Copies of this chain bind each other. A is one copy, B any other.
């Protein structure tokens, strides 16, 4: 009966933790360079904070925490005997695990509004939990790394977020990521033009599948949703939407002439693209993508999504957008927000696939002192103390190896762990240091030892 962990969760080995820390530190450092400050919120929130914020599907995927003690006392007999799980849930569970970082952030802003100076630029790097079906790149526990600004409608923030994506991915050595951008107002404008405003979501959901299922299937889906052929005819250019970003904008502009909102969206996108072009990106490509409609119920302006470089088969590795009234759900009106998220776990898989962890320092000891002679133990421990005061990662093999077999085990320990240096013996304050890679062995004093290992 080997122990195991729940489906969709993972243990991380020292190497994995080091690689994850490397990614997180790159993201956090860039967040701070761009003026964002960290906050943290609890792993679980009151259920009412989370429920109803992510749609029906989201509600189902939220992990609920059972009340403590005699929790069934509060449940009503009828619902229990009918085994009405949905109804009983709210009677026996008052807390739930964080589903994303955005809703807790909105809650934070409203709760702490009097301590906050707006515009408020915060970042947050914490795990979230979803009872989703696990698959490649999708876990039940995973980390989000979010940066958001609330309290300003300036489009310069959209520009900065694109720079931020570029900065982080360039720093990680992941070049040629594709930063897709769209604007909710353009989508609304399109719906307006085709006279199918009530079918906006159906339309964009179908349009979003263009890459995956092709034009014919998309048209078929649109028709089946009650969008007319004439309407589809009016947006023909969207089915073959190529050229530069500025070409695309020109095409959208002419398509959306009759929609104020649509024109507004094109104008916003134009501002952002022009600014990004003027400032230049290090390694990412910015790409207008009108099929991009993620979180449509949520975003009100810009919509972002980042894809891994071509050839890497992975869903989006980041996304975000502007939401004009996020804190409204908690009673604070008219506070605009815009933000992006980095999907740590998928970025990990991409970097791994591309062999981009080569430079990451494994936090293992640089030197191990072997233990063959109890009489020198204290001497070795004194030397180790000095090494550690000099911040040299170092270790004492704890068990005395007197027999040949025991000594062999110690050598095997250092080779298996790929430890670079070994101190095998000390005599008259002279340390024998062996480089396990080159095989070189020298005798040296303690201060020389520190110099060698620094």
Interface residues of A (CB under 8 A from B): 1-6, 9-14, 16-18, 20-21, 29, 32-35, 37-46, 49, 60-61, 63-66, 68-73, 75, 77, 80-81, 83-85, 88-89, 92-95, 97, 107-108, 110-112, 115, 117, 119, 121-122, 127, 129, 131, 141, 149, 152-154, 156-157, 159-160, 163, 167, 275, 278-279, 330-331, 362-365, 368, 377-378, 381-382, 385, 388, 391-400, 413, 416-417
Across the interface, do B49 and A11 meet the contact criterion of CB distance under 8 Å? no
Choose one: B65, B108, B398; the contact of A65 (CB below 8 Å): B65
Residues of B within 8 A of A14 (CB): 37-39, 122
Which partner residue on chain B sits nearest A2 by CB separation?
Answer: B111
Residues of B within 8 A of A122 (CB): 14
Across the interface, do A3 and B111 meet the contact criterion of CB distance under 8 Å? yes
Known: A11-B112, A33-B391, A38-B14. A141 touches B399 (CB 8 A): no
Bound complex: CA of A61 vs CA of B396, how far in Å?
A: 38
Known: A84-B72, A395-B34. A129 touches B43 (CB 8 A): yes
**Copies of this protein, total:** 2
Residues of B within 8 A of A4 (CB): 46, 111
Residues of B within 8 A of A32 (CB): 363, 393
Bound complex: CA of A385 vs CA of B34, how far in Å?
A: 9
Across the interface, do B279 and A385 meet the contact criterion of CB distance under 8 Å? yes
Across the interface, do A363 and B42 meet the contact criterion of CB distance under 8 Å? no
**Least Cβ–Cβ distance between A47 and chain B, in angstroms:** 9
Across the interface, do A11 and B41 meet the contact criterion of CB distance under 8 Å? yes
**Least Cβ–Cβ distance between A325 and chain B, in angstroms:** 15
Which partner residue on chain B sits nearest A417 by CB separation?
Answer: B117
Bound complex: CA of A362 vs CA of B46, how far in Å?
A: 30
Residues of B within 8 A of A416 (CB): 117
Chain B CB within 10 Å — which of A29, A37, A149 has the most? A37
Across the interface, do A69 and B85 meet the contact criterion of CB distance under 8 Å? yes
Which partner residue on chain B sits nearest A149 by CB separation?
Answer: B398
Known: A152-B399, A278-B378. A38 touches B66 (CB 8 A): no
Across the interface, do A3 and B107 meet the contact criterion of CB distance under 8 Å? yes
Residues of B within 8 A of A20 (CB): 40
Across the interface, do B46 and A5 meet the contact criterion of CB distance under 8 Å? yes
**Least Cβ–Cβ distance between A412 and chain B, in angstroms:** 8
Bound complex: CA of A278 vs CA of B84, how far in Å?
A: 68
Across the interface, do A38 and B363 meet the contact criterion of CB distance under 8 Å? yes
Bound complex: CA of A351 vs CA of B93, how far in Å?
A: 36
Bound complex: CA of A364 vs CA of B108, how far in Å?
A: 19
Which partner residue on chain B sits nearest A73 by CB separation?
Answer: B83
Across the interface, do B6 and A95 meet the contact criterion of CB distance under 8 Å? yes
List 17 A-B residue pairs with CB atoms under 8 Å apart, sorted by A's residue number. A3-B331, A5-B42, A6-B46, A6-B95, A13-B112, A33-B391, A33-B393, A34-B388, A65-B65, A66-B66, A70-B83, A73-B83, A77-B81, A152-B398, A153-B399, A154-B400, A156-B377
Which partner residue on chain B sits nearest A6 by CB separation?
Answer: B95
Residues of B within 8 A of A381 (CB): 156, 159, 275, 279
Bound complex: CA of A41 vs CA of B4, how far in Å?
A: 11
Residues of B within 8 A of A153 (CB): 399
